[in-house]
Amino acid sequence: MIRGWLWLLSLVALVMVTGCGSPSTGDSMDAQNTTPPGSSQRAASISATNNSSIMSNLSRLEGKATIVMTVNGSPITIEVDGEAAPITAGNFVDLVNRGVYDGVSFHRVVRDPQPFVVQGGDPQSKDETVPTSRLGTGGFIDPETSQQRYIPLEIKPRNADEPIYGKTFDQAKINVAPVLSHTRGAVAMARSALPDSASSQFYFALSDLPFLDGNYAVFGYVVDGMAVVDQIEQGDRIESAKIITGLENLKN
């Protein structure tokens, strides 16, 4: 029993985001450094849930969209749900539309002792000269501000009209399940210990991961191509990511 709990805690640590200082603080799964340097600076810089102007400037997806990622020559079809996670889904679709994910690698793959996650989305990984030790520390640099763009933690409880922002369910004292749960094939944002620290990195759930529900923001699901996800190895790249349907639902 103790060994099982230690395993669960180690997996939760793996979805924490790390950073290497401003501006390249990011959102990786790094069990060795789960508290990013400069976290107080990051919290002050976003404060998205307490600043309506920041929230209003973030992309939103008003509806659903379909994304096709090509990895190792094979497609992965993702349905992105802006009805339950408008800001998180909008951020992802906006980054796909910008070409941010084309050429990035999957820098962390965790399958042992049992299937956990495949994580990618660090823009630094496009540059093959970047040391692998740095991968997982980067996020999307908005060309309009020259700063890393962060989004708030956004999780919608079942039977709620709106998502909860900036807090985990434990922090918000929410005792119901989220609308979008961590079932196998879920796509969610990686982040640091700070709730509002997700940027561009995301992960695929390789199995049902209910202990992550209410803590990390799921924004969609793999609806076709999960066998491709199961074969991804560390270092494999996203050859392309394209919006197939739903671009009209993206509001910038």
State the DSSP string of 124-185: GGGSTTS-GGGTTS---EETTTTEE--B--EEPBTT-SS-EESS-HHHHT--S-BSS---TT
Whether 28 shows a pLDDT value over 60: the answer reads: no
Higher local confidence (pLDDT), 32 or 98: 98
pLDDT at residue 8 in the model: 53
Q: Mean pLDDT score of the chain, rounded to an integer? A: 85
pLDDT digits (tens, 9 = 90+) for 167-214: 999 999 999 999 999 999 999 999 999 999 999 999 999 999 999 999
The band of 102, judged by pLDDT with boundaries at 50, 70 and 90, is very high
C-alpha–C-alpha distance, residues 240 and 49, integer Å: 32
Give ∠ CA 243-141-105 in degrees, rounded to 5. Answer: 60
The band of 215, judged by pLDDT with boundaries at 50, 70 and 90, is very high
pLDDT at residue 252 in the model: 86
* Rounded average pLDDT over 220-244: 98
State the CB neighbour count (10 A cutoff) for residue 96. Answer: 24
Whether 32 shows a pLDDT value over 50: the answer reads: no
CATH of the structural domain 2-251, one choice from 3.40.50.2000, 3.20.20.10, 2.40.100.10, 3.30.230.10: 2.40.100.10
Q: Which of 237, 10, 13 is nearest to 135 (CA)?
A: 237
pLDDT at residue 57 in the model: 86
pLDDT digits (tens, 9 = 90+) for 119-175: 999 999 999 899 988 999 999 999 999 999 999 999 999 999 999 999 999 999 999
Whether 68 shows a pLDDT value over 50: the answer reads: yes
pLDDT at residue 18 in the model: 45
* Rounded average pLDDT over 75-90: 98
Listed by start position, the domains of the chain span 2-251
pLDDT at residue 51 in the model: 53
The band of 55, judged by pLDDT with boundaries at 50, 70 and 90, is confident
* Rounded average pLDDT over 86-91: 98
Which residues are paired to 240 by β-bridges? 70
pLDDT at residue 20 in the model: 31
Q: Which of 22, 240, 211, 53 is nearest to 117 (CA)?
A: 211
pTM score = 0.84
pLDDT at residue 158 in the model: 96
CB 203 within 8 A of CB 29: yes
